[in-house]
Amino acid sequence: MIEVQDLRKSYGKTQAVAGLSFRVEPGEVVGLLGPNGAGKTTTMEILEGLRRPDGGRALVLGRDVSKGLQPVRTRIGIVLQSSALLERATVGELMRLYRLMYPEPQDGTALLQRVGLAEKTDAQVGSLSGGQKQRLAMALAIAGNPDLLFLDEPTANLDPQGRALLWDMVRERVAGTGRAALLTTHSMEEAQALCSRVAIVDHGRLLAMGSPAALVNEHCPGAHVSFETEAQAPVETFAAVEGFQGLEPQPGRSRVHFAAPRLEPLLASLMAAQVAHGFAIENLSVERSTLGDVFLKLTGRELRDA
Ligand SMILES: Nc1ncnc2c1ncn2[C@@H]1O[C@H](COP(=O)(O)OP(=O)(O)OP(=O)(O)O)[C@@H](O)[C@H]1O
């Protein structure tokens, strides 16, 4: 659906995209995950045919972007970062307009219903809230029944309900079909929840790409387990378990911490030690590494303040 090879784009001295290569296959939701200024939007805009690359090659639905995307335009749906919608038109008018541009549009009334804007059909777009505009942008993007969906930070303005709705709509469009979606996000949660594969991008470069689970397994395997136990429990009991990290005194009890490359053997040895020594295990917490840990490891920076 998308094939990007050594893509480059500079603005003056700023190299926004510095040799990116990746593919998006049918049935995939791929996320470009990276901090502000990583080059995500520039990459999307090149793939949407809105910007010319300085170098490299990009094919979208088999069409070279440098030749223009006109022949495949009706197979593409786009949700821009801040949607510049016609503010004076009504929601219904805009939906009718979009549907007219595509050969096989979807049912506009059903789409507006789906995004919770049915009763806003006669309202001017300019009167909608930021989140409502974002929902409308999503409905318009899929009105033409596109094969390929581009979403630039699609949930930045949405409340948790709106975010879950949009995730569902993207999944429904793509899962088990020959369609695909490419989105940008800063949110690890979004990448983890929605994307079949994630490309971690920083300074216009691809640092790693894979499914969220594969990236975590490859770069930050392991898990952290902790639990509370009796304050007087002897430290030697726990120190004998592989992965023991320390005992943290708390009022009237202790919290014991373990970390190991694999969760299952760690839990098994903890259970064996508990049977042998009979200590209490309360308020057990199990934390696996996240994409944020992967990002931290690859760049040395936290994603949110990178
Ligand atoms: N039109 C432009 N003119 C000059 N520089 C630009 C332009 N657009 C982007 N840049 C610069 O290119 C770099 C990449 O920007 P881009 O918007 O692609 O990143 P991004 O990963 O999408 O960031 P964000 O998450 O903030 O949207 C940044 O340093 C940015 O300042």
CATH 3.40.50.300 domain span(s) along the chain: 2-217
Q: Are 188 and 291 in contact (CB under 8 A)?
A: yes
Q: Which two tokens stand for residue 73?
A: 């335009």
Helix (H) or strand (E) holding 297: helix 291-299
Half-sphere exposure of 274 (CA within 13 A, CB side): 15
- pLDDT at position 305 is 45
**Stretch(es) of the chain classified as CATH 3.30.70:** 222-288
Nearest residue (CA) to ligand 1, atom 1: 11
**pLDDT of the chain along its 306 residues, tens only?**
999 999 999 999 999 999 999 999 999 999 999 888 889 999 999 999 989 999 999 999 999 999 999 999 999 999 887 667 678 889 999 999 999 989 999 999 999 999 999 999 999 999 999 889 999 999 999 999 999 999 998 888 788 999 999 999 999 999 888 999 999 988 888 988 899 999 999 899 999 999 998 999 888 888 889 999 988 888 888 888 888 888 888 888 999 998 888 888 888 988 998 888 888 899 999 888 888 888 888 877 776 544
pLDDT attached to residue 277: 87
222-288 is classed CATH 3.30.70: yes
Q: Closest Cα to atom 30, ligand 1: which residue?
A: 37
Contact between 116 and 139 (Cβ < 8 Å): no
3-class SS at 34? Answer: coil
Backbone angles phi, psi at 40, to 5 degrees: -65, -50
As given in the structure block, the two tokens for residue 221 are 């395997």
Residue bearing the CA closest to ligand 1, atom 28: 37
Ligand 1 interacting residues, C-beta cut-off 6 A:
11, 14, 16, 34, 36-42, 184, 186
For residue 134, report the distance from its CA to the centre of ligand 1, in Å: 21
Q: Is the pTM of this model over 0.90?
A: no
State the CATH class of domain 2-217: alpha beta
Task: Give the Cα separation of 149 and 274 in Å (integer).
Answer: 52
